[in-house]
Amino acid sequence: MIKILKSLLPATVAVMGLGEAAAIAQNNAPVPVPVTVTVDTTRAGPVIDRNIYGQFAEHLGRGIYEGVWVGEDSPISNTSGYRNDVVAALRRLRVPVVRWPGGCFADEYHWRDGIGPRTQRPVRVNTHWGGVTESNHFGTHEFLNFAELIGADAYVSGNLGSGTPQEMAEWVEYMTSGSQSTLANERRRNGRDRPWRVRFFGFGNETWGCGGSMRADHSADLHRRYQTFVKAPREAPIVRVASGANSDDTNFTDVMMERARGQMDALSLHYYTIPDSWQNKGPATGFGEDKWASTLRAARRIDDLITRHKAVMDRHDPERRVGLFVDEWGAWYEPEPGSTPGFLYQQNTLRDAHVAALSLNIFHRHTDRVRMTNIAQMVNVLQAMILTDGPRMLLTPTYHVFEMYVPFQGATPLAATVEAPEYRFGDISLPRVDVSAARDTSGRLHLALVNLDPNRPARVVTNVTGMTVRGARGRLLTGPALDTHNSFDQPDRIQPAAYSGRVEGGRLVLDLPAKSVAVVAVE
Ligand code: AHR
């Protein structure tokens, strides 16, 4: 590939070698790197489950309170207590599913605290997240009605760590029973006649850590025990999600699959992208190319992790009945200076847009097992879609990627290969361009392209087998700096712009600026 690159460079550049200097043409503009993408429309994978675009909303910092719920008496514009601006933005994203109430919070949450008249609900201490008081004003009714309001399915995480099987079973009955039982009638008295549809139910969270510090075999046994008592109506079955492994702990997956695969419909996996180490996560803004490269390398690691967990699952479940749900993922940096550390509030930049796009592309390649993922978290926490400051709201670069990728929800992924020289920084080598291709249900082909190189544009020449291409139109997200981000004073500094490709010699050509994400529909 180096040979090809050299042959395409202007003579003045070729004599300078292939370092940074070689990237500069006579007019001082970086020379586009030639990239070839081949899409094989005859090689399709299993459909991209819409739930791969899921969200996670925990009682953490300002994720729920202020982020989603301001209460009916708030001066912030709201409908029945839900902020109108956030609800409208989430509806545009077509959020398929929301996981709630945690996270670590789930294994200390007792659902009865969050029903009945709000003024009479007990106030608790949120011991995991900042030791702040939890008013319980956002409880079962508020969450399930919120999910309906934004058109998402509910994924409720039950308390396996400090609750009882009886408490868990009664919660599910309260939410889903259409009978005349005392619990169903209590729900009616609290304002909800019809049972809710709770499509997904999680049995604990991170049972190996904040959910109970359990070893895998105990975790498997507890899962088996609790799920025995959770009974949803036959006509509205629940997908039982077992709490699974952290990062590369394939032994945890192995034991859960060995001991409890018959009692689960999905197993979870958590993986966070951190630039270097948990002790040295680095800031969300104001970083250099070293952190850009190490963050994208960390984000790409999820590909290998999924591959390894899938291989373990395949040994126990070759028919792939049990889904792998990556129900927490995203970038985790140092909290924003001046914010409460336990609130995990961080800015969100062009780097995060790349983390999101690379991750989604990777999930598209594992649809044989990965049927849900939930980015952490939806509003004001970690790699958020939305940030709020009192009445003000902004959409992050991550939000824009999710919105640009909407056509991939429910589409059929196609095999795509990239030929390009790698992007290198120090000892880090990364693919220069990452691509995902998929056909939506109306037959339209969509391409998502990520240029990881923050310095060099790419000229992508695309071969699409079995299709005469007439052009491509879509949107592009980029910015002048590695940490380009929106602020409350400049909420539209980074947003997608109209973008198109052209056809040369029968082939689609897409000019990708440095550090950019593009999504196009091919005509
Ligand atoms: O998303 C923040 C926390 O990260 C979650 O509560 C926990 O499950 C994970 O460790």
Q: Where in 332-442 does DSSP place strands (E)?
A: 370-376, 386-389, 392-395, 412-419, 423-425, 428-430, 433-439
Q: Is 156 helix (H, G, I), strand (E, B) or coil?
A: strand
pLDDT in tens, 78-132: 999 999 999 999 999 999 999 999 999 999 999 999 999 999 999 999 999 999 9
Q: Where in 127-174 does DSSP place strands (E)?
A: 132-134, 153-158
**Which of 62, 160, 203, 205 has the most ligand 1 atoms within 8 A of CB, as the residue to mutate?**
205
328 lines ligand 1 (CB under 6 A): yes
CA of 56 to the centre of ligand 1 (A): 10
- 26 and 70 share one domain: no
Q: Domain with 481 in it: what CATH number?
A: 2.60.40.1180
- The three-state DSSP-derived secondary structure of 254-296 is HHHHHHHHHHCCEEEEEEEECCCCCCCCCCCCCCCHHHHHHHH
Instruction: Establish whether 328 is a catalytic residue.
Output: yes
**Which of 100, 213, 270, 278 has the most ligand 1 atoms within 8 A of CB, as the residue to mutate?**
270
Sign of CA dihedral 340, 345, 350, 355: positive
Instruction: Please give the Cα distance from 501 to 426 (Å, whole number).
Output: 32
- 36 and 65 share one domain: no
What's residue 345's pLDDT?
98
Q: Of 108, 170, 206, 403, which residue is the catalytic one?
A: 206
Amino acid sitting at position 172: V
107 lines ligand 1 (CB under 6 A): no
What's residue 291's pLDDT?
98
- 354 and 459 share one domain: no
The answer to whether the CB of 257 falls within 8 A of the CB of 191 is no
- 354 and 483 share one domain: no
Would you list the DSSP string of 203-227?
Answer: E-S-TTTTTT---HHHHHHHHHHHH
User: Span 353-377, mean pLDDT?
Assistant: 98
Sign of CA dihedral 262, 263, 265, 269: negative
If one compares 17 and 261, the residue with the highest pLDDT of the two is 261
102 lines ligand 1 (CB under 6 A): yes
User: Span 225-235, mean pLDDT?
Assistant: 96
Instruction: Please give the Cα distance from 172 to 233 (Å, whole number).
Output: 10
Q: Partners of 157 in the beta sheet?
A: 202
**How many CB atoms are closer than 10 A to CB 192?**
17
Q: Of 328, 336, 403, 504, which residue is the catalytic one?
A: 328
Distances (CA, A) of 476 to 85, 243, 442, 448, 511: 24, 37, 23, 10, 11
Instruction: Please give the Cα distance from 274 to 139 (Å, whole number).
Output: 31
Per-residue pLDDT for 3 more than 80?
A: no
Per-residue pLDDT for 353 more than 70?
A: yes
Answer with the one of 387, 410, 433 that is the final residue of a domain: 410
What's residue 113's pLDDT?
98
Instruction: Please give the Cα distance from 3 to 174 (Å, whole number).
Output: 67
Instruction: Please give the Cα distance from 507 to 435 (Å, whole number).
Output: 16
- 271 and 399 share one domain: yes
> Which of 296-317 are b and which e, b meaning 16 or more Cβ less than 10 Å from the residue's Cβ?
bbbbbebbebbeebbebbeeeb
Q: Is 304 helix (H, G, I), strand (E, B) or coil?
A: helix
Would you list the DSSP string of 18-83?
Answer: SSGGGGB-TTSPBPPEEEEEEEEEEEE-S---GGGGEEE--SSTTTTBTTTB--TT-SS-EETTEE
Distances (CA, A) of 340 to 38, 103, 337: 47, 18, 9
The answer to whether the CB of 50 falls within 8 A of the CB of 42 is no
pLDDT in tens, 271-295: 999 999 999 999 999 999 999 999 9
Widest Cα–Cα separation across the chain: 83
- 151 and 208 share one domain: yes
Strands 200-203 and 153-158: parallel
Query: pLDDT-based confidence at 23, cuts 50/70/90?
Result: low
- 444 and 501 share one domain: yes
- 58 and 181 share one domain: yes
CA of 401 to the centre of ligand 1 (A): 23
Sign of CA dihedral 8, 9, 12, 14: negative
Protein residue whose Cα sits closest to atom 1 of ligand 1: 376
Instruction: Establish whether 235 is a catalytic residue.
Output: no
Q: Domain with 295 in it: what CATH number?
A: 3.20.20.80
CA of 125 to the centre of ligand 1 (A): 17
Q: Is 309 helix (H, G, I), strand (E, B) or coil?
A: helix
Amino acid sitting at position 137: H
Q: Residue 410 has which token pair?
A: 């429910």
Q: Residue 451 has which token pair?
A: 């240029």
What's residue 24's pLDDT?
58
pLDDT in tens, 425-478: 999 999 999 999 999 999 999 999 999 999 999 999 999 998 999 999 999 999
> Which of ligand 1's atoms lies nearest the C-alpha of 206?
8
For the chain, the C-alpha Rg in angstroms (whole number) is 24
**Which of 60, 98, 104 has the most ligand 1 atoms within 8 A of CB, as the residue to mutate?**
104
First-to-last CA distance in the chain? 29
- Give me the long-range contacts of 15-24 (CB less than 8 A, separation at least 24): 20/455, 23/455, 23/456
Task: Kindly give, in sequence order, each residue whose CB lies less than 8 Å from that of residue 451, ignoring residues fewer than 6 positions away.
Answer: 432, 433, 457, 458, 512, 513, 514, 515, 516, 517
Per-residue pLDDT for 15 more than 50?
A: no
- 444 and 388 share one domain: no
Percent of the chain with pLDDT over 90: 94
CA of 103 to the centre of ligand 1 (A): 5
Task: Kindly give, in sequence order, each residue whose CB lies less than 8 Å from that of residue 79, ignoring residues fewer than 6 positions away.
Answer: 87, 149
If one compares 188 and 13, the residue with the highest pLDDT of the two is 188
Averaged pLDDT of the chain: 94
- 440 and 387 share one domain: no
The answer to whether the CB of 477 falls within 8 A of the CB of 495 is yes
Answer with the one of 410, 425, 442 that is the final residue of a domain: 410
- 201 and 336 share one domain: yes
Give the chain's domain count. Answer: 3
Structural domain including 423 reads 32-45+414-522
Instruction: Please give the Cα distance from 76 to 63 (Å, whole number).
Output: 16
pLDDT in tens, 427-439: 999 999 999 999 9
Answer with the one of 352, 375, 410 that is the final residue of a domain: 410
- 290 and 345 share one domain: yes
